[in-house]
Chain A
Amino acid sequence: MARSYRGLIVLTVVSGMGILAAVVLALIVAPDAAGLTANEMFAQRIIYFHVPCAWLSMLAFGVTMAGSIGYLVTGRRSWDSLAVSSAEIGIAFTLAAIASGSIWAKPAWNTWWTWDPRLTTYTIVLLLYIAYFMLRSAMEDSARRARFAAVYGIFAFISVPITFFSIRWWKTIHPVLIANAQNTENWGLSKHMRPVFFFSLAVFTLFYVVLLLHRLRLEDTKEQVEEVKEQLGY
């Protein structure tokens, strides 16, 4: 077994244990939010995983943009592999964030869905990255596919900061959990909730790294298959 693969297995186990610890902390250790009904209080604990899912998806799309820039600058296929791998993980966690947010909205807002700026912009992000894969699948030539996808990946990322700042720029019912630098007192979380919240964020970041490394391994094997096919004259 290669040393790098053994390292990846160790990282996977550490990430799994971290997630288990985050579940225990979020469901048992984290204090109840004040001034909520019983239903809302349970639902509020969704944030320890809903926000990290959203963070992970935004991080993933940021890495897609970085990979796209890298590909356009260097022309190396590994950058395209990084972009596509990260976009796939990003889509999965955008779906998880939207679905878990919708479930939280029912007890908190008394509706599963509303066209609030955050929800609307986040849906646009999801659709843009689904289109990223549609664009890729529409092209046979790998160099052309990588080039077009790279340009698209850079422009699609514009939607991500718009989504992040939508709750600060526009009138919205979506809570703002993380205070901005000018107003450090205006946190949506009490100081006792923050350690668990940031632990979950850290664990999800590690989870993303692990998923990305596994997904890159898949891309690497695909590349090897193509090389052997070329040698065989297929």
Chain B
Amino acid sequence: MTYMVAAYLIIWLVSFVLILSMVFRQRKIDQELALLRDALQDKDTGR
């Protein structure tokens, strides 16, 4: 039983880490894009 639980945990741990890393990277890049778009808007309006 221990082996089965350990194997399932490993599979879910890997999946969880992959999903979490994608979520964090997406959040970071979305923030960067928003900041850059603000800077572009400022540049266009001449502020």
Interface residue ranges, A against B (CB under 8 Å): 23, 39, 42-43, 45-46, 49-50, 53, 88-89, 92-93, 95-96, 99-100, 103-104, 106-107, 207, 211, 214-215, 217-218, 221-222, 224-225, 228-229, 231-232
Contact B36 A215 (CB under 8 A): no
Known: A89-B18, A96-B15, A218-B29. A228 touches B10 (CB 8 A): no
Chain A residues near B19 (CB, 8 Å)?
Answer: 211, 214
B29-45 contacts to A (CB < 8 Å): 29-30, 32-33, 36-37, 39-40, 43
Chain A residues near B6 (CB, 8 Å)?
Answer: 103
Contact A215 B22 (CB under 8 A): yes
Q: Tell me, in angstroms, the Cα distance from A50 to B18 when the chains sit together.
A: 17
Q: Tell me, in angstroms, the Cα distance from A188 to B5 when the chains sit together.
A: 22
Contact A50 B7 (CB under 8 A): yes
Chain A residues near B33 (CB, 8 Å)?
Answer: 221, 224-225, 228
Query: Secondary structure at chain A's binding surface: helix, strand, loop or mixed?
Result: helix
Q: Tell me, in angstroms, the Cα distance from A46 to B7 when the chains sit together.
A: 7
Q: Tell me, in angstroms, the Cα distance from A73 to B6 when the chains sit together.
A: 44
| Shortest CB distance A206–B (Å) | 13
The number of inter-chain residue pairs (CB within 8 angstroms) is 81
Contact A229 B3 (CB under 8 A): no
Task: Identify which of A45, A96, A107 gathers the most chain B CB atoms within 10 Å of its CB.
Answer: A96
Chain B residues near A42 (CB, 8 Å)?
Answer: 1, 3-4
* In the complex, the 9 A-B pairs of residues with the closest C-beta atoms, listed nearest first: A100-B7, A96-B14, A103-B7, A228-B36, A42-B4, A46-B7, A92-B18, A43-B3, A99-B10
| Shortest CB distance B29–A (Å) | 5
Contact A49 B3 (CB under 8 A): no
Question: Given contacts A104-B3, A106-B3, A215-B22, could you give 18 more A-B pairs where the C-beta distance is less than 8 Å?
Answer: A39-B1, A39-B3, A42-B4, A46-B3, A50-B7, A88-B18, A93-B14, A96-B11, A99-B10, A99-B14, A100-B10, A207-B15, A214-B19, A214-B26, A221-B26, A221-B30, A229-B36, A232-B40
Q: Tell me, in angstroms, the Cα distance from A225 to B42 when the chains sit together.
A: 16
Contact A232 B7 (CB under 8 A): no
Task: Identify which of A215, A217, A228 gathers the most chain B CB atoms within 10 Å of its CB.
Answer: A228
| Shortest CB distance A232–B (Å) | 6
Chain A residues near B36 (CB, 8 Å)?
Answer: 225, 228-229, 232
Q: Tell me, in angstroms, the Cα distance from A49 to B12 when the chains sit together.
A: 10
Q: Tell me, in angstroms, the Cα distance from A217 to B27 when the chains sit together.
A: 11
